[in-house]
Structure 1
Amino acid sequence: MAEKRRLTTQQVAARLGVKPETVYAYVSRGLLGSRRGPGGRVSTFDPDEVQRLVHRRRGRSDGPPPARGQDAADPVYSAVTLIEDDRYFYRGVDPVELARRASFEQVAWWLWTGDQRPGPPFAAPEAGLAAARAVGDALPPEAGLVDRLRVAAIAAAAVDPVRFDLRPRTVAATARGLIATFVDALPRRDDATSAPDDSVAARLWPRLTTRPADADAVTTLDTALVLLIDHGLAASTVTARAAASARAHPYAVVSAALGAVEGPLHGAASGLAHRMLADVLERGAGPVVAEHLRAGRRLPGLGHRLYRTVDPRAQVLFDLLEAVPEAAPALAAAHAVTETAATHLPLPANVDLALATLSVATGMPPEAGETIFAVARTAGWIAHALEEYDERALRVRVTGRYEGPPPPQPLPSGS
């Protein structure tokens, strides 16, 4: 049987309504497969695969069309992260294995560009870093680390004249500089020692603790950053995609997502777990667990709606901490909480408890876990924003149904 005729890059671009450069971006992100044509000089594409992508981009469904006057909301397809069978994958690759072989910077650059070679270093632009430090210095003493990240994003955006350039490579370069600005704009702890290398993890460590940053410590932090880059359509990621759908620039996308991170059921959960572990170290697991349950509070750091058994991110971090002697008390406290709660509430530890164990064991402040989460997840938000920039504008919109009193209603009294 003769093979069906394959499409050229120009034909694919015409069917999708995009530029040829965008077709190559789809290939790098795994949305399309390609192979070399005769002579090996041009790429060709499977027409059926292209047609499936056309349907996805249009948000096509078998249901009835939207009612007149309503917006049709496209399904949010993504090729960034898959979560299934108690595991998760970045573009089909196990993040646990990635963390063993590649740095946070390498994984982020690969997610943004599809390039598996090491990308440019994560260096903060001078103007953006100066602006971020200036606004950080103006914050009141009670301002937290994540507060500093939020104002750093705004300040860095204000001095970046190309922030509205949404071409993929420009967005990736902007993200690289923003992550570096986040880290370098945070104040170093008073007696921090110099970092053993210039990686993001090595530069972030002395901004979270006064403990020396040895190679094992930096490896553990870098692993945490890789594992936390993305986790599907979490609240902050949906927020980031909604902003990108409106064609907000990358700084604004990240700023929007940072607002969602501060929720106690999202990025801030590790801070609650940190305080719980510190309490357990003083009073024991039994009284602390009982106090939480008596007050009707959920135990922070336990259970996850997407995992029936173990959170793989937590397991990796716990395994790394087992090799750190000074982490033993914090690890024992975390295990005691899990075992005590399991008497009546069999919920395994999640990544928030693992981050709390790391922060307690290394003398970091309670919000250190949230800071690590935000820096890491910035890479994931940008990966999702890059996908959204290639979609129909303003497609991420919740379809609402009005349930108020029917019009017309009289004016409120006193108007």
Structure 2
Amino acid sequence: MTDQAGAAGFTEPPAQRLTTRETAERLGVKPETVYAYVSRGQLSSNRAPGGRGSTFDAAEVDALARRTGRREPAAPAGALSFPTGITLIGSDRYFFRGVDATELARRHAYEEVAEWLWTGELRPGVRFTAPAEALTAARRAVGALPPHCGSTDRLRVAVVAAAAADPLRFDLSREAVLGGARSLIPTLVAALPTVTEDRGPSDGAADGGSADGAAPPRLARQLWPKLTGRPADEASLAVLDTALGLLIDHDLAASTLAARVAASARAHPYAVVSAGLGVLEGPLHGAASGLAHRMLAEVLERGGAAPVVADHLRTGRRVPGLGHRLYTGEDPRAHTLFELLAEIPQAAPALAAARDVVATTARHTPLHANVDLALAVFSVSSGMAAETGETVFAIARTAGWIAHALEEYGERPLRMRPSGQYTGPQPPQPLPTVVSQ
């Protein structure tokens, strides 16, 4: 009797209703996505009082959030942003997992920096080894390309061949991905042709392992003969090794974003690297150092930066190797490499030419050197081809793409799905008229 009376006298509070904006914030999506959920039958809506907008049941919204996994808060309009624990870029410094990246690259080999980026653990003396089957497949595929192909062409083909040779490539577990990465990077290096003394490529190549079972040399030493026919000296190898470490990652650069989109779709790591390489080849990204190389060589040939800079400006071209949208001063990667290059006597002319370019352009535009100019100083002074910087960039950044893939594999799949802003003819439009041939 008491229970019945209590039940009869109990009034259930009205269900909490959320506005469209509140619903979007609770789900971490844009308002447009909320209505997409409605159209798919994943959410129900009621017209708001007064007939303006819609309201949503809070419990239903929370249930949807639990089913799909809570998303990150929606980025500001026009921006794509999401949490990452890999790289932080400041006003004049950048950090790998909280550690100053320039100090890390100067003190540790590329492989050690890569391990830090992947695992958060420093493994002194770690080396990467190319497996025989993957290396054989990659070399055959690269060897079948026309002689005029560039290094990025060869690297893209080598990645596909190495993937085909790995039956476990679809295993996205952390240990499998890390094992594949430690094999893929030396495979890419070893698949590139060796440069002879006349700077022409040859089929002979040092592999990424050791016939007697000894530990392979550092990756920088393996890469050196793929870049120049000159013998390696320790100071120059230190510059190359440091450059590889500096270039491993740089937050969400265009190629890294492409790699994360691929990983979001659960593409295997080889496909992730292929996506990154495809974007890297653009002249505004990895290929930018080649433009700086050619400009620097011309400055040395003409005896000064003034006529070269003038020619660039007169033809409407920007002066390569200068400025970076993320740094107000000199790119810290360039600063670090310039310090190392200053200790190499044969780099002095190219380094002076680079400083001349900066000083000449500074008369009118306060632009500072970026890493492309530093890579150009290194490649010009080492007798390397113009595409050297792009090659170094691609090999180095492969480790960064893998780091971002590992991070993305832990997120909800296909979370990066922006909406297009349609600007075409408003429907319904009549069927198009067939044009007679």
Give the structure-2-normalised TM-score. 0.78
* Structure 1 segment 16-415 matched on structure 2, within 5 A: 61=28, 64=31, 66-69=33-36, 74=72, 75-118=81-124, 121-191=127-197, 198-283=217-302, 284-414=304-434
Tell me what 1:46 maps to: none
Cα distance in structure 2, aligned partners of 1:175 and 1:412: 50
CA offset digits 1:40-75 (Å, max 9, x no partner): xxxxxxxxxxxxxxxxxx995497572322799854
**Aligned partners of 2:133 and 2:165 also within 8 Å:** yes
Residue segments in structure 1 that go unaligned for 5+ positions in a row: 1-57
**Aligned partners of 2:190 and 2:206 also within 8 Å:** no
CA offset digits 1:143-171 (Å, max 9, x no partner): 01111101000000011000001111110
Alpha-carbon distance change, 344 to 331 in structure 1, aligned in 2, over 3 angstroms: same
1:210 Cα shift?
1.1
Cα distance in structure 2, aligned partners of 1:153 and 1:161: 14
**Aligned partners of 1:228 and 1:376 also within 8 Å:** yes
- Is 268-277 or 213-222 further displaced after alignment? 213-222
Alpha-carbon distance change, 63 to 396 in structure 1, aligned in 2, over 3 angstroms: closer
Identity over the aligned pairs, expressed in percent? 61
**Aligned partners of 1:122 and 1:179 also within 8 Å:** yes
Alpha-carbon distance change, 389 to 69 in structure 1, aligned in 2, over 3 angstroms: same
**Aligned partners of 1:76 and 1:396 also within 8 Å:** no
The alignment's C-alpha RMSD in Å is: 2.3
Cα distance in structure 2, aligned partners of 1:79 and 1:239: 18
Cα distance in structure 2, aligned partners of 1:149 and 1:295: 33
Residue segments in structure 2 that go unaligned for 5+ positions in a row: 1-24, 41-67, 73-80, 200-204, 208-214
Between the two proteins, the alignment pairs up a number of residues equal to 358
SS at match of 1:89: strand
**Aligned partners of 1:113 and 1:168 also within 8 Å:** no
1:216 Cα shift?
1.1
1:172 Cα shift?
0.9
Cα distance in structure 1, aligned partners of 2:318 and 2:255: 21
CA offset digits 1:178-215 (Å, max 9, x no partner): 10011111111124999997000000011100111111
Tell me what 1:18 maps to: none
1:411 Cα shift?
2.0
CA offset digits 1:272-320 (Å, max 9, x no partner): 0000001111112111100100111111100000000110000010110
Give the structure-1-normalised TM-score. 0.82
Alpha-carbon distance change, 246 to 92 in structure 1, aligned in 2, over 3 angstroms: same
SS at match of 2:35: coil
Cα distance in structure 2, aligned partners of 1:219 and 1:313: 14
CA offset digits 1:320-348 (Å, max 9, x no partner): 01011111111111111111111111100
1:394 Cα shift?
0.4
Specify the code of the residue in structure 1 equivalent to 2:262. A
- Is 346-355 or 82-91 further displaced after alignment? 82-91
Structure of higher RCO (CA pairs closer than 8 Å, 6+ residues apart): 1
Alpha-carbon distance change, 125 to 82 in structure 1, aligned in 2, over 3 angstroms: same
Cα distance in structure 2, aligned partners of 1:397 and 1:178: 29
Alpha-carbon distance change, 341 to 125 in structure 1, aligned in 2, over 3 angstroms: same
**Aligned partners of 2:354 and 2:377 also within 8 Å:** yes
Tell me what 2:47 maps to: none
**Aligned partners of 1:152 and 1:182 also within 8 Å:** yes
Specify the code of the residue in structure 1 equivalent to 2:386. P
SS at match of 2:94: strand
